[in-house]
Amino acid sequence: METAWIQVFILTLAECVAPAGKTVCQEQQFELQFLTRADCEYALEQLIATKDETDYVIVNRQKSGCAPSAVESNVFASLEAINEAHRDSAGWRAPDAGDKRRALVSKDHHQRLVELKTCEETDGAAPCKVGDIIVEEATGDRVDVWKRD
């Protein structure tokens, strides 16, 4: 195992969120990292579309976007080397082990997307979909969001 710099894309979303019943919003930013520009831009489009549907969030599109950057990361000579290094780590899943599961999840997700109406059609009543994102009914303070990988 060695250390190397790898390219990543940093998604920055700048938004102003108004608490319920307030007319003044609070500005905030958050960042997410992606390995490809396409994944970053797709996530940005989906986040902006979802946030635009709400009455209490304003996205600052000039301060939001995907920028290339780099992070220092461990690199391995082979798939076997990374499996050997992490096989005892809690929750480790070998990179080649998830392909069948991912295909099944994608199929189930796509089937559910076909069956659901858009959140616009249901006036925001869950479950509904926004693009490829499935919005589940809120239970307490938690909302489950399904997104196709």
Question: Do 117 and 70 belong together in one domain?
Answer: no
How far, CA to CA in Å, does 72 sit from each of 31, 83, 89, 118, 146?
A: 17, 20, 21, 40, 30
Question: Using one digit for the tens of pLDDT, what is the confidence trace for 36-90?
Answer: 999 999 999 999 998 888 888 889 999 999 999 999 988 888 888 888 888 888 8
Domain count along the chain = 2
Print the domain residue range for 31: 1-87
Tokens representing 50 are: 């979802």
Q: Clarify whether residues 78 and 9 are in a common domain.
A: yes
Share of the chain above pLDDT 90, in %: 26
User: How far is the C-alpha of 49 from the C-alpha of 64, rounded, in Å?
Assistant: 13
Is 114 part of a structural domain of the chain? yes
- DSSP letter (8 states) at residue 83: H
- In whole angstroms, give the CA distance from residue 1 to residue 76: 5
pLDDT reported for residue 45 = 93
Q: Is the pLDDT of residue 100 over 60?
A: no
SS3 135: strand
